[in-house]
């Protein structure tokens, strides 16, 4: 499985945008970029995923570099409830494919 | 979406005993996945369970230690056998579901403490 690299932790102020980076220089052409997050004492939850184009949903935006070797998860207006560990994962979108987690980025939101 | 429940939500067990964790999904799924999350760590995939066949284990995990059953398309169990304190972890099951977005859903986890 292709590897991703994320900062161990980041801090942001409440109500400000947050940009969470992810490097994936060995990404293959069939790999989708997924983001999951894990709130305290909960299982991971899906945030967003994309292949080549930037993606937006109600939770976040995903900006993908033109060469696909890096991506950025954007939380437009962070709240205290966004404090979590964010995982950037590469996977072929296949209903039976396994997801391998890296270490993720622990996001701290300052009130 | 999928609603996944796990039982028990937590347990404290003695060294050398075994615990069976149940995972129930509210829809039929082909594959179910079992993960372990040790304290302060990320998730590690234990095995993939396909209904009607033997589970596929990841490197470092063996069937004798983590036997898995998958009797139907909505249910699976993971047994942690002959437990030691190193098995103290959160165990999570997950499934893929289809819809507007194919995504993987996770159960709430079972927090296991081995004394």
Residues in chain A: 111
Fill in the DSSP letter of residue A80: G
d(CA B90, CA B18): 15
Higher local confidence (pLDDT), A93 or B55: B55
Q: Which of A15, A98, A71, A18 is nearest to B46 (CA)?
A: A98
Interface residues on B facing A, Cβ-Cβ cutoff 8 A: 4, 30-31, 33, 35, 42-45, 48, 50, 92, 94, 96, 98, 101-109
pLDDT in tens, chain B (115 residues): 789 999 999 999 999 999 999 999 999 988 899 999 999 999 999 999 988 888 999 999 999 999 999 999 999 999 999 999 999 999 999 998 765 566 789 999 999 999 9
Interface test with B, best of A38, A86, A99, A105 (most B CBs within 10 A): A99
Q: Which residues of A touch B92 (CB under 8 A)?
A: 43-44
Selecting from B42, B44, B109 the residue whose C-beta is nearest the C-beta of A43 gives B109
Would you tell me how many other CB atoms lie within 10 Å of the CB of residue B36? 21
Q: What is the pLDDT of residues A27-83, one digit of tens each?
A: 988 888 999 999 998 999 999 999 999 999 999 999 999 999 999 999 999 999 999
Q: Between chain A and chain B, how many beta carbons pairs sit less than 8 Å apart?
A: 52
Selecting from A36, A93, A100 the residue whose C-beta is nearest the C-beta of B102 gives A93
């Amino acid at each position: 499985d292709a590897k991703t690299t994320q900062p161990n932790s980041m801090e942001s102020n409440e109500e400000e945008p947050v940009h969470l980076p992810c490097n994936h220089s060995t990404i293959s052409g069939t790999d989708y970029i997924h983001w999951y997050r894990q709130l305290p004492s909960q299982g991971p939850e899906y945030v967003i995923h994309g292949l080549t184009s930037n993606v937006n949903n109600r939770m976040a935006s995903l900006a993908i570099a033109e060469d696909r070797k890096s991506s950025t998860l954007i939380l437009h207006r962070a709240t205290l409830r966004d404090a979590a560990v964010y995982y950037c994962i590469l996977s072929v979108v296949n209903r039976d494919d396994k997801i391998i987690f890296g270490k993720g980025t622990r996001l701290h939101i300052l009130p | 979406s999928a609603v996944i429940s796990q039982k028990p939500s937590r347990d404290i067990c003695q060294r050398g005993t075994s615990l069976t964790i149940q995972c129930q999904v509210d829809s039929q799924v082909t594959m179910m996945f079992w993960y372990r999350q040790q304290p302060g760590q990320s998730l590690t995939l234990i095995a993939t369970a396909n209904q009607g066949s033997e589970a596929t284990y990841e490197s470092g995990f063996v069937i004798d230690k983590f036997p898995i059953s998958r009797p139907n398309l909505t249910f699976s169990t993971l047994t942690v056998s002959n437990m030691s304190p190193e098995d103290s972890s959160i165990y999570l099951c997950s499934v893929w579901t289809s819809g507007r977005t194919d995504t993987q859903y996770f159960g709430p986890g079972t927090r296991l403490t081995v004394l």
